[in-house]
Every structure is written in C-alpha cells, then in structure tokens.
Amino acid sequence: MVIFMHNKARLSSKYDRDNMDTHTRTCNRLSEQLHFDCSSGFPRVHIDLSCESVSYPLTRYPPTTSTTKVIIVGCGIAAPVLAIFLKLKGYEPVVYERLSEPTGLGLSLVSAFNRTLVRFAERHGVKIIWNHQLVSFEQHEDSVVVGFTNGATDNASFVIGCDGLHSNTRICLFREEKVNFTGLTQVAANTGGISPRPDSLVRQVMRNLVTQRESVAKETWRAMDEEAQKEFRENGPYSDWPFGGKELVKGAERITKYSLYDRPRLKTWYKGRVALLGDAAHPTSPHIGQGANQAFEDIYHLVRLPGKYTTSPSSTDTLQKVFSEYEATRIPRTSLLVKEAIKQGEGREVYGDEACKTRNDMTQAF
C-alpha cells in the first residue's frame, strides 16, 4: 500500500534537525510516499522521498502471544493506522466512531486519505463501528467499560482516545476544559478539489490557505453554504488579488472557513488504562503542517513500547510503564511544535506595507 502525503511546511530552522529521530525528519519533507511493509513479520513504515529513501521499524519486538482487546475512540487519520499495527502485533483493536461513515467534509485530500486508511484497516480485519459516540468509561482492575450515547457498552483491556480536538475521551479523563479561540481564522479556498491553474502561476497550486484575524466561528472543517461561497468568490476580500490569486479563489470548487482553537497543555496524557493520542492529546494549529505527522509519531512510540516488557501487555504494571514512557517521550516534543505553530500563525497576520514585506521576506527565507 502506498499513501501520498503533501506537507505544506517544514519545521522552523531553530530546531536542530541533526538531533531529531530519523522518522521525525522524514515526516517534515515534501512529497512523501508511505508504505506499510509487513513482509518480514515486523511492521515497518517506508517513506520514499524525491531525494532519498528512508525506512524505520514500527517495532523491534515480536508480536504479543496473547490476544488483548483495545478500544480506539475516533476514526480520523490516526485511528486506522494505530489499529493496523496493533492488529499486526496480535492485539484485537476495535474502532468506534461517532459519525456514520468516513468523513467527506473538510480538506479533500485529508478526506480521501482517511477513506483509504479505513479501507486498508478493514482489509486487515480491523472492526470499525460507526454511529457510536463515547460519553463515559468505567475503569476496573483489568479492563475498561466504555459507554456510548446510544446506550451501547463495550469493554477492553485498555482504551486509546484518537477523537481529535473536541475529544470526549479527554473530557472523560480530565473533565471539560475551556477551548480558547486564538483570534485567527483560516479560509481554505481550494479544499474541494484542485483549482484550475492560472496562467500567471508557473507551478500548480493544490490548496490555498489564508489566515486572518476576526471574530469566532466554531471549528468544523465544513464548507460554507452555497450563497456564502458565491459571495466569497465574487466580492470577498481575496476576489481581486493579483498574480493569479483571484483566479484561484474564483475557480475553487468548495470553500471552507474555520476558526483556530487552542487547548490548555496537559501535564499527563493518561489515567489508568486510558490514554490519548494525536489531537486529543496535543491539538495544534495547522501553520507548520505537523498535525498528522505528530499523530504518527505518537503511534510509533505507543506501538513499540509494550514489547520492551516481559510481563503481559494487558497487565496494569505494563500499561503504566508504557503510557508513562510514551508521554515522557512525546510531551516535550509536541509542546515545542504547538508553540511554534501558534507563533507562525500569529506572524502571518500583520498590517502595513513594511510589516507585510518583512513577513513575506521571512516566509521566503523559511
């Protein structure tokens, strides 16, 4: 299986790339091809780049010999990947998603990527159950009982919350927190597909994101209604942009507008037999293109760590060690990236000719 990913930004140069893990550095390049290679019995990710090819193991340890059931909450990009590799290691993952099917909303490339991952997970025997939104869980000595809005329940050895920014798993773990509006919104003008390339642009542009400062509007990744899109194309603030900008806006098949939110930083990502992963643990604004990459790094560590221990993978002692090392490895890294993403976003919205010129020069240098 090959999955094509396009990452719109690299990390800031202030980060020392020489000290990053190999798998981290590869995720910050453009035009990645992600291969799931299971031929040797040990799952690996292989990434082909335009200038180099790098592969790394998702585990150095043999699969578990006993079947351990795992409930994964949410079915975005991270959940199917996590489920696949847990399945390959001998676990029994079950994914629960509140929606009725893989999302067709938001960024079209992400939606297509998500659907591909879902199909691939199902071909690997991963059970995905739709229309189930988590509202509660009850932890026991050797299991977790999960409850859903429709009254259904299920139990597993442990639970991983992959349910995004508005994570119910996180709320159940640490109570509801205030979601802070950053004061920034983004308009994604080409999310419905690929706009025709204006003659004035020498390179094809697949997606155009504009960051702006304005009043709050809930983050949904849903397209504007038809009237709002028509008004935006014809009379919006970017409808007369030069250098091909207005053609990109007017030619967009679908336009999405959403606000950017921030959550308080967590000091821990787990409690007992329940842990968080991806945006549920460390939501970040999209300004350095690291959301999916960081979720995959979470998966890398969460999947490899249980094999370090000789005790049962479902034992309380093993889970505590795994989750503790997982968060100790990941929290410092993701905290830096979240701060850098906020900084990048705030730096894009400036006023005045000189400020805009300075910003543009810095962006080109980056």
296 or 20, higher pLDDT: 296
Residue written as tokens 């996180």?
Answer: 170
* pLDDT greater than 80 at residue 34: no
**111: Cβ contacts below 8 Å, ≥ 6 apart:** 102, 103, 104, 105
**Mean pLDDT (the chain, rounded):** 75
The 3-state DSSP composition of the chain as helix, strand, coil percent (nearest 5) reads 35, 20, 45
**For 311-329, what is the mean pLDDT?**
93
> Residue 110's closest CA among 204, 209, 234?
209
* pLDDT greater than 70 at residue 196: no
Picking from 16-30, 194-208, 287-301, 306-320, which range would have the lowest pLDDT averaged per residue?
16-30
Order of strands, sheet of 134-139, starting from the edge strand that comes earlier in the sequence: 134-139, 144-148, 153-156
Domain with CATH 3.50.50.60 in the chain: 44-178+265-344
User: Confidence band (pLDDT; 50, 70, 90) for 151?
Assistant: very high
Picking from 41-45, 75-79, 156-160, which range would have the lowest pLDDT averaged per residue?
41-45
Picking from 209-223, 224-238, 289-303, 341-355, which range would have the lowest pLDDT averaged per residue?
209-223
Order of strands, sheet of 158-161, starting from the edge strand that comes earlier in the sequence: 127-129, 92-96, 69-73, 158-161, 274-276, 270-271
Residue 304: its pLDDT value, please?
A: 93
* pLDDT greater than 90 at residue 197: no
**For 282-291, what is the mean pLDDT?**
79
**For 279-283, what is the mean pLDDT?**
93
Tokens of 278: 């991806």
Picking from 200-214, 219-233, 326-340, which range would have the lowest pLDDT averaged per residue?
200-214
Domain at 44-178+265-344: CATH code: 3.50.50.60
Q: How many CA atoms lie within 13 A of 138 on its CB side?
A: 6
Picking from 3-7, 54-58, 229-233, which range would have the lowest pLDDT averaged per residue?
3-7
Q: What is the 3-state secondary structure (H, E, C) of 51-110?
A: CCEEEEECCCCCCCCCCCEEEEECCCCHHHHHHHHHHHCCCEEEEECCCCCCCCCCCHHH
Q: What is the 3-state secondary structure (H, E, C) of 49-60?
A: CCCCEEEEECCC
Residue 355: its pLDDT value, please?
A: 78
* pLDDT greater than 80 at residue 210: no
* pLDDT greater than 90 at residue 118: yes
> Residue 248's closest CA among 192, 185, 186, 184?
192
**For 41-50, what is the mean pLDDT?**
42
* pLDDT greater than 50 at residue 161: yes
pLDDT tens-digit readout, 81-115: 999 999 999 999 999 999 988 865 545 566 778 88
User: Confidence band (pLDDT; 50, 70, 90) for 206?
Assistant: very low
User: Confidence band (pLDDT; 50, 70, 90) for 14?
Assistant: very low
Residue 62: its pLDDT value, please?
A: 53
Residue 204: its pLDDT value, please?
A: 47
Picking from 210-224, 232-246, 342-356, which range would have the lowest pLDDT averaged per residue?
210-224
Residue 167: its pLDDT value, please?
A: 93
> Residue 220's closest CA among 167, 165, 169?
165
Residue written as tokens 């490339």?
Answer: 109
175 or 274, higher pLDDT: 274
* pLDDT greater than 50 at residue 158: yes
pLDDT tens-digit readout, 166-190: 899 999 999 887 777 766 676 665 4
End-to-end CA distance of the chain: 33
Residue 145: its pLDDT value, please?
A: 98
